[in-house]
């Protein structure tokens, strides 16, 4: 039973995403903040718990990513309904996720990408700060920061993908940096 | 050790780049002015009101300005509308009412609006209304805008600070009215409260 706890946490996070959106759209800010705190806690716990219980699996990792994407899309979607964030930001996140999936599938082996690894965490932080602070100037700053980070994350991933491709083509090149896969 | 230091420098570099870009973009977006031609609404109104506003980045300020303007038109004002910019009216004494509108950034009215209120001429004893919009706490910004208007000599007849992420009317919200709809209703009602002088 306890083996399923990490997956249950990720599934609960995915299920809580529409509830978070509803709370935001209906202006229940304290409840939305509490809901978000639970979501963030589950995101922090599921990975270490899966490793501690020795049940970490590619399927669990995929569920974790899907839950994170669900929270990000629901949270920012709700803010877009309220005109807090622009709608096109959702397209940026969708494109970023698609880019991550495509480059992961087409790479011959996992790509070490330290910047892309933190992309989801940055978006979670932006959601949390928006819920807690609620200021127009801050929203502009956060939107610009997210866009800048997106560009840097894409550039970093492309650079690492090209480097990995070159390494595959030339076995004489070193591979010792390949740790902490994403 | 060397790899860790390199990784740390990489993260610091990314954080610094993001902060610089976000800071510059925020400065640009919050200080940008928009010059738009003067638009006249309700040509046959009894007296003329001037509405000068900064649109902001979301549609909220525009919607609330429009709602307030609709309220003014409802009670018979002829309204001239323009945005805060270099070519906006600098002398407002010929008007019967002046309305300043703008978004709240960093708990303060947007800087171009503050600059405009401080430099505009002819506000002495002029009936003046303020329509601010923000996300959360707008009380401080409202007080600051009122202070600026009084310092410029204006007589405040209405002062509104409407929000997206805080209930504009608790009772209406409990009754199921959407916060944005409440905000527009309050803006329109406030506009209707200011009757133009008889001809």
Point out the residue among B58, B107, B179 whose CB comes nearest to the CB of A135.
Answer: B107
pLDDT digits (tens, 9 = 90+) for A87-109: 999 999 988 888 887 877 766 66
CB atoms within 10 A of CB B107: 17
pLDDT digits (tens, 9 = 90+) for B164-190: 988 899 898 888 888 999 999 999 999
| Residue B177: closest C-alpha in chain A | A26
More confident residue, B192 or A66: B192
CB B28 within 8 A of CB B58: no
Selection from B107, B161, B169, B173 nearest residue B131 by Cα: B161
CB atoms within 10 A of CB B130: 26
Selection from B102, B159, B98, B84 nearest residue B126 by Cα: B98
Mean pLDDT, chain B, as a whole number?
Answer: 92
**With an 8 Å Cβ cutoff, is B103 touching chain A?**
yes
Q: Is residue A63's pLDDT more than 90?
A: no
| pLDDT at position A102 | 81
| pLDDT at position B189 | 97
pLDDT digits (tens, 9 = 90+) for B124-134: 999 999 999 99
pLDDT digits (tens, 9 = 90+) for A10-45: 899 999 999 999 999 988 889 999 999 999 999 888
**With an 8 Å Cβ cutoff, is A30 touching chain B?**
no
| Residue A144: closest C-alpha in chain B | B22
Please, which pLDDT band fits residue A181 given cuts at 50, 70 and 90?
very low
pLDDT digits (tens, 9 = 90+) for B150-166: 999 999 999 999 999 88
| pLDDT at position B66 | 96
Task: Tell me the chain B residues in contact with residue A115 when contact means C-beta distances shorter than 8 Å.
Answer: 10, 14
B180/A135 Cβ within 8 A: no
Q: Which residues does B28 contact at the CB level (< 8 Å), separation at least 6?
A: none
**With an 8 Å Cβ cutoff, is A152 touching chain B?**
yes
User: What's the gap in Å between the CA of B107 and the closest CA on chain A?
Assistant: 7
Interface test with A, best of B2, B106, B136 (most A CBs within 10 A): B136
Question: How far is Cα B154 from Cα B131, in angstroms, rounded to an integer?
Answer: 15
B165/A84 Cβ within 8 A: yes
Q: Which residues does A60 contact at the CB level (< 8 Å), separation at least 6?
A: A6, A7, A10, A46, A50
- Range with the poorest average pLDDT among A45-59, B21-35, B64-78: A45-59
Point out the residue among A136, A144, A152 whose CB comes nearest to the CB of B14.
Answer: A152
A148/B17 Cβ within 8 A: yes
| pLDDT at position A176 | 44
CB atoms within 10 A of CB A71: 26
Q: Which residues does A48 contact at the CB level (< 8 Å), separation at least 6?
A: none
| pLDDT at position A78 | 95
A137/B30 Cβ within 8 A: yes
pLDDT digits (tens, 9 = 90+) for A121-153: 899 999 999 999 988 999 999 999 999 999 988
What b/e readout covers A46-61, taking b as 16+ CB neighbours within 10 angstroms? bbebbeeeeebeeebe
| pLDDT at position A178 | 40
- Range with the poorest average pLDDT among A17-21, A36-40, B11-15, B144-148: B11-15
Supply the pTM of this predicted model. Answer: 0.83
**With an 8 Å Cβ cutoff, is A177 touching chain B?**
yes
Q: Where are the beta strands (DSSP E) in A34-151?
A: none
| Residue B58: closest C-alpha in chain A | A83
| pLDDT at position B15 | 87
Mean pLDDT of B8-20: 87
How far apart, in Å, are the Cα atoms of A11 and each of A43, A68, B51? 11, 10, 52
Percent of chain B with pLDDT over 70: 99
Please, which pLDDT band fits residue B8 given cuts at 50, 70 and 90?
confident
Q: Is residue A5's pLDDT more than 90?
A: no
Q: Is residue A177's pLDDT more than 50?
A: no
Point out the residue among A82, A114, A134 whose CB comes nearest to the CB of B10.
Answer: A114
| pLDDT at position B136 | 85
| pLDDT at position A112 | 64
The end-to-end CA distance of chain A, in Å, is 28
B22/A145 Cβ within 8 A: yes
CB A76 within 8 A of CB A127: yes
Question: How far is Cα A39 from Cα A124, in angstroms, rounded to an integer?
Answer: 9
Alpha helices in B38-177 (DSSP H): 60-74, 111-119, 139-151, 170-174
Residue A147: strand, helix, or coil:
helix
| pLDDT at position A110 | 59
| pLDDT at position A179 | 36
Please, which pLDDT band fits residue A180 given cuts at 50, 70 and 90?
very low
| pLDDT at position A26 | 87
Task: Tell me the chain A residues in contact with residue B57 when contact means C-beta distances shorter than 8 Å.
Answer: 136, 140
Q: Look up residue B97 and give its two tokens.
A: 């009412």
């Amino acid at each position: 039973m306890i083996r399923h706890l990490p997956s249950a946490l990720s599934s609960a996070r995915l299920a809580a995403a529409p509830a978070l959106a509803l709370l935001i759209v209906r202006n229940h800010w304290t409840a939305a903040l509490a809901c978000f705190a639970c979501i963030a806690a589950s995101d922090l716990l599921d990975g270490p718990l899966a490793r501690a219980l020795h049940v970490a699996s590619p399927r669990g990792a995929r569920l974790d990513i899907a839950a994170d994407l669900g929270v990000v899309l629901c949270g920012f979607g709700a803010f877009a309904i309220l005109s807090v964030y622009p709608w096109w930001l959702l397209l940026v996140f969708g494109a970023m996720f698609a880019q991550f999936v495509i480059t992961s599938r087409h790479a011959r082996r996992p790509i070490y990408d330290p910047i892309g690894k933190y992309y989801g965490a940055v978006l979670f932080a932006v959601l949390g700060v928006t819920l807690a602070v609620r200021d127009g100037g801050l929203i502009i700053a956060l939107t610009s920061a997210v866009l800048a980070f997106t560009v840097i994350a894409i550039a970093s991933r492309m650079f690492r993908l090209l480097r990995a491709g070159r390494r595959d083509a030339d076995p004489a090149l070193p591979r010792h940096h390949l740790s902490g896969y994403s | 050790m060397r790899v860790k230091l390199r990784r740390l420098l990489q993260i610091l570099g990314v954080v610094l780049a993001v902060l610089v870009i976000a800071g510059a973009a925020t400065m640009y977006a919050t200080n940008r002015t928009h010059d738009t031609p003067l638009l006249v609404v309700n040509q046959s109104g009894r007296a003329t009101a001037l509405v000068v506003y900064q649109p902001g980045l979301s549609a909220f300020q525009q919607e609330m300005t429009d709602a307030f303007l609709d309220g003014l038109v409802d009670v018979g004002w002829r309204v001239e509308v323009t945005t805060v910019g270099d070519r906006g009216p600098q002398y407002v004494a010929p008007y019967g009412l002046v309305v300043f509108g703008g978004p709240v950034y960093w708990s303060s009215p947007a800087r171009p609006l503050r600059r405009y209120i401080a430099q505009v001429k002819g506000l002495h004893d002029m009936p003046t209304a303020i329509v601010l919009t923000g996300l959360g706490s707008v009380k401080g910004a409202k007080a600051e805008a009122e202070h600026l208007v009084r310092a410029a000599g204006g007589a405040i007849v209405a002062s509104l600070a409407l929000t997206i992420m805080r209930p504009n009317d608790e009772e209406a919200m409990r009754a199921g009215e959407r916060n944005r709809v409440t905000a527009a209703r309050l803006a329109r009602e406030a506009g209707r409260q200011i009757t133009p002088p008889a001809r």
